[in-house]
Structure 1
Amino acid sequence: MSASLKILAINGSERDGNTSDVLRHAAETAAERGVDFEIVDLRDIRMERCGPCGDCNDRPIACEVADGVPGVVQKMIDADGIVFAAPVHGFGTASLMQTFIERAGVGYLRFDRPLSNKVAGVISVARRYSAGEVWAQLTVNALLNRMIVVGSGFPATVHALHRGDALKDEEGLKNVSRLVERMIDMIELLDEHRRLTGRDDLLSSREANERVGLALNELQAAA
C-alpha cells in the first residue's frame, strides 16, 4: 500500500546544513517504508515577498506575482503528507519559511483549502533556544490549512549549532523518524477510510474561508 504514497518536505533553511541533514534522515525512514519523500529547498525557489498591493483580503483569485511559489503549492496539493521544516534564526522562524507561509497561505491556499485532511508533520532545528516556538508556529500554520497534524511523542525538534551537529542528536533524530513513521501510518489509515466510505474529504467552498464578512466571502457566495 505504501508504494504509491508521497510525502513532500518543505525546507525553510537558507543553507544546505543541519535542517537538510535532518530531512535526509527523514527520507531514509520513509524509504524503508517504500514511501516517496521529496524535499523542496526554498532557497532554490524564486520567491518574491508579499508586495504593497494590499488586496489579498478582497481578491477572489490567486496571487498574480509570477514566481516559483505556485509550483511548490501544486506539489503540496499532489502529496499525501507534508513536512514543514525550518531552523531557528533570530529566535524565530527562518525568513524563507515565513515568506513562503505568507505567500502560499494568503495567495493560494485560503480560497478552497486544498490541503484539508492531508497529513502534516513539523520539524524545527535550533542551537538550543526557541525550537518550541518555531515548532508551534509551523504547527498552527498546518492547522490553519485544515491539515491533520501528527505528533512524535516529544516534538521533533533537533539541536544543532555547527554543520553536522544535527546528526549527533540521537534523541532528536529518533523523534524525526517516529514522526515520519506515524505520518505514513495515518496516511494509510485515511486512505483505507476513504476507500471504505467513498467520502470526499475536501470541504465545500462555502466553508473553506474563515474571513466572514469580508468582500472575498461575499464574492464567493455570489459565484
Structure 2
Amino acid sequence: MTTPLKILAINGSERDGNTSDVLRHAAAVAAARGVEWETIDLRDIRMSRCGPCGDCNDRPVPCALEDGVPGVIRKMVAADGIVFAAPVHGFGTASLMQTFIERAGVGYLRFDRPLSNKVAGVISLARRYSAGEVWAQLTVNALLNRMIVVGSGFPATVHALHRGDALKDDEGLTNVRRLIDRMTDMMELLDEHRSLTGRDNLLAAREVNERIGLALNETGPSAAGEAAPDAAAPAADEQPSDELWARL
C-alpha cells in the first residue's frame, strides 16, 4: 500500500480565527484528494525568541535554545508539502510566524536545507492592506529553503476583518483551493518521478551551505588575495556533523 502524501500547515496566527478557518477549508480540499493534513498552530508551541547570543552565523550546530521549534522542524522534514499561513498584523507578518521563520531558518535549516524539493504554498490574510507583502515574504522564505513553490494563478490572499469574514471571500477561497490542488498535483508528480528514477534528491544543490564562498563571509585566505576554496565543496569545519540533527 502506497504511503499517502502529507501536507503540513504552519499557522502563524495568535488566535483560532480567520486563518484557522481558511486552513480548515484547505484541509478539506486536501482530504478530497486523499492527502493527509496536519496543522501546527504556533500559538500552541513553546517558542522562544532569538536570544542575545549572536553566534547563529558561525555556530556549526543547531540552536541551543530548548523549546518546541525542533519538533516542528521534524514534522516539516517528514512532510511532502508545507503551507505557510499568516495574517497581516501592523502591515507585516504576524509576530509568531516571524519569530518562527527566524528561529527555524538560522537555527536549524541553514545547515543542509532539509526542506529542499518539498512543495510549498503560501496563504496570507488581511483586512485589506499588505496581504501581498506578507505573501511575498513567506514565498521568498520558501525559496531560500530551496522548496518548490506552487502558485494558484493569483496569490492565495484572503480578505477578512471580523471572525467568519474569511469564509465569505469566495475569490480568496477559490485561490486557496487551487493552491492545494496544484500542490497535490506537484507532490504526486514528484513522488511518481522518484519511484521511476529511484532518485530522492531531484534538484541537488551544489553546496551544503550557500553562505560558504560569499565575499561577505570570507575571513580566510581569499581575503588576503589567495585562492578561495571551491564553493561546491564546503570546508571540513562547515560540513554538518553526524550529530547535527540529533537534537531534532
**Structure-2-length-normalised TM-score:** 0.85
Q: CA deviation at 1:200?
A: 2.7
The answer to which of 46-55 and 2-11 deviates more is 2-11
Q: Percent identity?
A: 81
Q: Using the TM superposition, give the Cα deviation of residue 208 of structure 1 relative to its aligned residue in structure 2, in angstroms.
A: 2.3
Looking at structure 1, the residues matched to 167 and 238 of structure 2 have their Cα atoms a distance apart, in angstroms, of 48
Larger RCO, structure (CA 8 Å, separation 6 or more): 1
Query: Within 2, Cα distance between the matches of 1:84 and 1:2?
Result: 26
Aligned position for 1:166: 166
Superposition pairs of residues 1-223 of structure 1, within 5 angstroms: 4-201=4-201, 207-213=207-213, 214=217, 218=235, 219-220=237-238
Whose helix proportion is higher, 1 or 2? 1
Conserved? CA contact 2:208–2:239, under 8 Å = no
2:2, 2:179 → 1: CA distance?
16
**Structure 2 unaligned runs (5+)?**
220-233, 242-248
1:77-130 CA-partner distances (Å, limit 9, x unpaired):
000000000000000000000000000000001101100000000000000000
Task: Check conservation: 1:8, 1:81, Cα contact below 8 A.
Answer: yes
Indicate the SS of the match to 1:207: coil
Structure 1 stretches of 5 or more lacking a match? none
Q: Deviations over 1:159-199 (max 9, x none)?
A: 00000000000000010011000000000000111111111
Give how far 1:206 is off.
6.5
1:210 deviation in Å? Answer: 1.2
Distance change in 2, residues 1:170/1:222 (3 Å): closer
Instruction: Supply the RMSD in Å over aligned alpha carbons.
Output: 1.9
Contact persistence 1:2–1:33 (CA under 8 A): no
8 Å Cα contact 1:63/1:107 also seen in 2: yes
Per-residue deviation at 1:153?
A: 0.5
Distance 1:156 1:222 in 2: 36
Which stretch shifts more, 202-211 or 83-92? 202-211
How has the CA–CA distance of structure 1 residues 23 and 87 changed in structure 2, closer, same or farther, with 3 Å as cutoff?
same
Q: TM-score scaled to structure 1, two decimals?
A: 0.95
Q: Which runs of 4+ in 1 moved over 4 A?
A: 202-206
Distance 1:167 1:72 in 2: 27
Q: Which moved more, 1:201-210 or 1:40-49?
A: 201-210
| SS of the residue 2:83 aligns to | strand
Question: Which shows bigger deviation, 194-203 or 92-101?
Answer: 194-203
Q: Secondary structure at the match of 1:4?
A: coil
Contact 1:10 1:83 in 2 (8 A): yes
* Higher Cα radius of gyration: 2
8 Å Cα contact 2:112/2:240 also seen in 1:
no
Question: SS at 2:136's partner residue?
Answer: helix
